[in-house]
């Protein structure tokens, strides 16, 4: 009996798949790429050093308050208007949980956004400067997916950095000061469990407040091939905007500057909670993220990558 064999023409050929038949487009989002970016970012010594500095700030504040109040005196004079920093500072000796709020208020104007600016500013420019960007864009990565993964990593760092400050402050506060029921800025008493829940909510709000800076840093990162230049520009813009936000003559534009409502998280420690500035802050951060995220996408997807 003769055997029936498939002729070579009857079998599918790899060449037929390569030539003339385009590959289906890959998904816009892949967890593998995001996992790789997260691992790379959080393993860098620079990232670990930034998180270490952020963790040290609450410890320094707590130790300073402990030394100052060792003779029974109070911390500073406190603010008559119940402002975030002074009002929280004067309550630390009564309840260590207030160190969380004080540490976030102390790091939010500069330390936290600077750290986020460094990470976001280096996202694309650092890869270009190291000569690895071109290899990252090889299929199946793609520019849009890579940019989305970079921004998601920057937002993950926003959350991680904020939680590092909060956890460090809570640990130091528990070691140096008593814990228990606490008094809100409005003068009402809430339980420790509720206060801990509000501390977590405040940390999430602070992390969300940094998304505008992350988008700005990512956009700047697409404009240059030097990671150092991108980081310096992002931090410089951050400082400039905060200076502008303090000039009374420019009050008309203050509500449109991304740091203007940063300290509105203190309203979560009022009873009832004041939501107006909190909503304005989150909306403003979303607007900055949309504008600069779109600008970063438009720039990066048309950029001639040579490195």
* 107-148 pLDDT tens trace: 998 999 999 999 999 888 888 877 777 777 665 567 888 899
Beta bridge partners of 183: 189
Contact (CB, 8 A) for 215 and 292: yes
What's the mean pLDDT in 43-67? 93
Q: What is the pLDDT of residue 168?
A: 96
For the chain, the average pLDDT equals 83
SS3 of 57, please? Answer: helix
Name the least confident of 2-6, 69-73, 124-128: 2-6
Distance of CA 150 to the CA centre of its chain: 12
What is the distance between the alpha carbons of residues 259 and 112, in angstroms, rounded to a whole number? Answer: 12
What's the mean pLDDT in 1-26? 43
- Burial per residue of 70-97, b for 16 or more beta-carbon CB atoms within 10 angstroms, e otherwise: eeeeebeebeeebebbbbbbbbbbebbb
Instruction: Pick the closest to residue 132 from 60, 45, 37, 214 (CA basis).
Output: 37
Does residue 12 or residue 238 have the better pLDDT? 238
**Residue 285 banded pLDDT, cuts 50, 70, 90:** very high
Give 139-162 pLDDT, tens digit per residue. Answer: 556 788 889 999 999 999 999 999
Contact (CB, 8 A) for 89 and 102: yes
* pLDDT over 50 (residue 78): no
Q: What is the pLDDT of residue 302?
A: 84
What is the distance between the alpha carbons of residues 244 and 241, in angstroms, rounded to a whole number? Answer: 5
Show the DSSP H helices in the chain as ranges.
14-18, 31-43, 45-68, 84-89, 98-107, 111-130, 133-136, 143-176, 192-209, 211-221, 227-244, 276-302
Q: What is the dihedral of CA 144, 149, 151, 156, to 10 degrees?
A: 170
Q: What is the pLDDT of residue 19?
A: 41
What's the mean pLDDT in 172-195? 89
- Burial per residue of 257-296, b for 16 or more beta-carbon CB atoms within 10 angstroms, e otherwise: bbbbbbbbbbbbbeeeebeebbeebbebbeebbeebbebb
Q: How far is CA 155 from CA 6, 32, 201, in A?
A: 55, 17, 16
What's the mean pLDDT in 76-86? 47
Name the least confident of 3-7, 65-69, 123-127, 176-180: 3-7
Q: Check residue 27 and report its DSSP letter.
A: P
* pLDDT over 50 (residue 1): no
What is the distance between the alpha carbons of residues 124 and 140, in angstroms, rounded to a whole number? Answer: 18
Tokens 């997260």 correspond to 38
* pLDDT over 60 (residue 5): no
What's the mean pLDDT in 22-41? 69
Percent of the chain at pLDDT exceeding 70: 82
CB atoms within 10 A of CB 231: 23
CA angle 56, 100, 158 (to 5 degrees): 70
**Residue 305 banded pLDDT, cuts 50, 70, 90:** low
Taking the model in full, what pTM does it have? 0.83
Q: What is the pLDDT of residue 108?
A: 92
What is the distance between the alpha carbons of residues 221 and 154, in angstroms, rounded to a whole number? Answer: 12
* pLDDT over 90 (residue 80): no
Name the least confident of 19-28, 214-223, 266-275, 291-300: 19-28
Name the least confident of 56-60, 83-87, 178-182, 299-303: 83-87
């Amino acid at each position: 009996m003769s055997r029936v064999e498939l002729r070579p023409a009857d079998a599918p050929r790899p060449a037929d798949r390569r030539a003339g038949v385009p590959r289906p487009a890959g998904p816009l989002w892949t967890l593998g790429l995001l996992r790789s970016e997260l691992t790379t970012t959080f393993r860098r010594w620079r990232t670990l050093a930034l998180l270490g500095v952020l963790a040290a700030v609450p410890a320094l504040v707590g130790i300073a308050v402990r030394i100052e109040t060792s003779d029974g005196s109070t911390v500073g004079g406190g603010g008559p208007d119940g402002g975030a920093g002074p009002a929280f500072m004067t309550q630390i000796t009564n309840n260590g949980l207030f160190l969380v709020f004080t540490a976030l208020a102390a790091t939010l104007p500069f330390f936290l956004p600077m750290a986020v600016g460094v990470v976001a500013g280096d996202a694309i420019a650092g890869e270009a400067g190291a000569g690895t960007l071109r290899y990252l864009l090889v299929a199946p990565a793609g520019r849009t997916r890579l940019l989305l993964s970079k921004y998601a990593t920057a937002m993950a760092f926003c959350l991680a950095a904020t939680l590092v400050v909060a956890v460090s402050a809570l640990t130091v506060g528990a070691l140096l000061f008593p814990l228990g029921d606490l008094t809100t800025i409005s003068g009402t008493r809430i339980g420790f469990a509720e206060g801990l829940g509000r501390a977590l909510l405040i940390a999430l709000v602070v992390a969300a407040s940094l998304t505008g800076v992350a988008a700005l840093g990512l956009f700047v990162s697409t404009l240059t091939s030097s990671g150092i230049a991108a980081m310096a520009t992002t931090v410089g813009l951050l400082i400039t905007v905060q200076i502008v936000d303090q000039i009374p003559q420019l009050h008309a534009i203050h509500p449109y500057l991304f740091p203007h409502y940063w300290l509105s998280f203190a309203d979560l420690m009022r009873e009832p909670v004041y939501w107006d500035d909190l909503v304005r802050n989150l909306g403003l951060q979303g607007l900055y993220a949309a504008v600069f995220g779109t600008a970063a996408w438009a720039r990066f997807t048309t950029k001639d990558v040579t490195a």
